[in-house]
Amino acid sequence: MIQVKDISIDNFQGIINLVYEDQEINNKVLENLKLKKVFEGKSGQVFYKTTEDLNYEIFVGLGKFNELEKTDLINAVAKSVKQAEKLNINELGINFIKANGLCTGGITKSIVQGVKLASYKFDKYKGNKEAYNPNVTIVGAPKEKLEKMKLKIEEASNVADGIIVARDLVNEPANVLYPETLAKRAVEIGKDSGFEVEVFDEKQIEDLGMKAFLEVGKGSVHKPRLIVMRYMGNENSDERVGLVGKGLTFDTGGYSLKPSASMDTMKSDMGGAAAVIGTMQALAKNKVSKNVVAVVAACENAISGGSYKPGDIIGSMSGKTIEVLNTDAEGRLTLVDAITYIIEKENVDKVVDVATLTGAVLVALGTEITGVLSNNDEFYEELVVAARRSGEKFWRLPNDKCFKKLYKGDFAELKNTGGRFAGTITAGMFIEEFVQDKPWLHLDIAGTSWTDAANDSTPKGGTGAPVSTLYELVVKHQCKHK
C-alpha cells in the first residue's frame, strides 16, 4: 500500500531521506555524515543508521539538483526500498522532496513507480517466494497538494502495474507464451481491467486478406492469432487512437537463421505487443476518457517445410506486393497487415506502432533511447511532451524520400529489407508505405524493451518500455502548477 499523509515520521520503522549533493543542510545527522564524507548525497550512494527508538533512517543520494532526471529519482527511490527490504522494514516513510523540472504530481508518480518496481522479480520458475510489499507513506508534502497526490498515487500505481504486466509477458519463455496463450492472457487482462478483446484465428485472418502476416507464421506449429483490444472511454467522441504492437512470440529468423547467441532472448520479440497490452490495462484501470484500439498480430517465425523463403513474393492486406529478401525481416510484414486492419476495420485516426524491429537501432542509439520515425510533426511533438512526463527517452530519425530507393522492389512493389545502410530508417519507412497518410509514429524499441544491465528499478529481462510514454501520449494531460 502507498499513501500520503500529514503525520510525524515517528510513526514508522524506517524513514527514507532523498538527498541532493548540493542541497542546503538543515539536518545535524546529515551534516555530520557529509563532513566525515561517509555520505555526500552523490548519485547512487546509500547509507542507513538506527535512531534512538531503534528504528532506521535511510539516506539515498540524488546527485546534483539541476542534473536530476526523472529516471534518476525513480531509481533512487527503488534503491532505498531495496535497502528497506534488507532491513525487514514493513512500515516505511518517504520524505517528499522537490525535483528539478517535475511538478508535485510528477514527483509523486516517480516515487510510486520507484516503490512498485523496486521489488519486481520474474522468479515464478524458481519456486514460490513471498514478495516484499511494505506499507509506504509519503510525508512532508505540501498540505494543499495532498488530495491531488492521492489521485496521482492511484493513477501511477495502475501505470506501474501496466509496466509489470508488460515485463511479465516479455519474460515468459516461448514454450509457455505463444500466439494462442498470448491471446488468452490478453482476454484475461481485458476482463480484469475493463476493455474488450476479440481474437481472430488463422481462418479469420485469411478471410481478412492478411497475407503478409500469415506468411510469417505459417512455418510454426503454433498458429497465428490476431488480437484486437478496444477501450472506449469517451462515448461523446469519435476520435480513436490506434496502437499496434509487434507480436513475434519467438523469432528464429526463419530460413535467414539467426546465430544461436542472438536467439536465446528472442522470446522478447513480442515486446511491442506486451507494451500495448500493458498500456491498455493502465488506461482502462484509470478510466481514461479516451477511445483506444490496440492490435497485435501474434505469430512465431519458425522453420519448416512450409515456411516462407528468401526470394518469395507475397501479398498483403493492403494489396501491395512484397519481395522477401530476408525472412528475419519479418516483424514489418506482420505490422503492415495489422496497421491496414486497424485503419480500415477499426477506423482509427492516428497510429502508433511499437516494435522490437531492428538491431540497427542499438548500433545507432544504444539501449536507453528509442528510435522514432513519424510522418507528422504535431504528433511527434505530442510524443516529446509525453516522454518528458514519463522520463523515457526518444530520438527522431529522418524519413527522407532519398531512402525510398533502398527498399523499392525489383520484382514486386517493395522489398522487405533495404540492406545494411540506414536499417532502422528503411524498416520504419517500409511500414510508412501502409499508413495511408494517417498521423503515425513508429517506435523501434529493440534496444529499450530488454536489458542485460540491471538497475534498481529494472532487473535483467523485459523493461516494460514504453508503457509509461504510451499512457501519457494517450492521456495528453499537462502539468500546469509547480
Catalytic residues: 258, 332
CB 269 within 8 A of CB 251: yes
Is residue 190 classed as helix, strand or coil in its secondary structure? helix
R_g (Cα) of the chain, nearest Å: 24
| Measured distance CA(305)–CA(167) in Å, rounded | 34
| Measured distance CA(69)–CA(76) in Å, rounded | 11
Residues 6+ apart with CB under 8 A from 22: 41, 64, 65
- 196-200 and 225-232 strand pairing: antiparallel
Alpha carbon of 81 to those of 76, 395, 434: distances in Å? 9, 32, 46
User: Is residue 251 annotated as involved in ligand binding?
Assistant: yes
Alpha carbon of 382 to those of 183, 237, 441: distances in Å? 30, 19, 10
Q: Which residues pair with 442 in a beta bridge?
A: 353, 373
| Measured distance CA(473)–CA(441) in Å, rounded | 11
Cβ neighbours around 410 below 10 Å, total? 7
Cβ neighbours around 442 below 10 Å, total? 30
| Measured distance CA(401)–CA(372) in Å, rounded | 16
The DSSP H or E segment spanning 81 is helix 70-86
The secondary structure of 161-180 as a DSSP string is HHHHHHHHHHHS-TTT--HH
Residue with cell 524491429: 357
| Measured distance CA(326)–CA(333) in Å, rounded | 11
CB 452 within 8 A of CB 363: no
Phi/psi of residue 79, nearest 5 degrees: -60, -40
User: Is residue 330 annotated as involved in ligand binding?
Assistant: yes
Cβ burial 111-141 (10 Å sphere, 16+ → b, else e): bbbbbbbbebebeeeeeeeeebebebbbbeb
In the numeric block, which cell numbers belong to residue 259? Answer: 546465430
Angle formed by the axes of helices 146-171 and 104-118, nearest 10°: 40
CA atoms within 13 A on the CB side of 255: 17
277 backbone φψ class: left, alpha, beta (φ>0; ψ -120 to 50) = alpha
User: Is residue 269 annotated as involved in ligand binding?
Assistant: yes
User: Is residue 53 annotated as involved in ligand binding?
Assistant: no
Query: What residue numbers does the annotated binding site cover?
Result: 246, 251, 269, 328, 330
Query: What residue numbers does the annotated binding site for Mn(2+) cover?
Result: 246, 251, 269, 328, 330
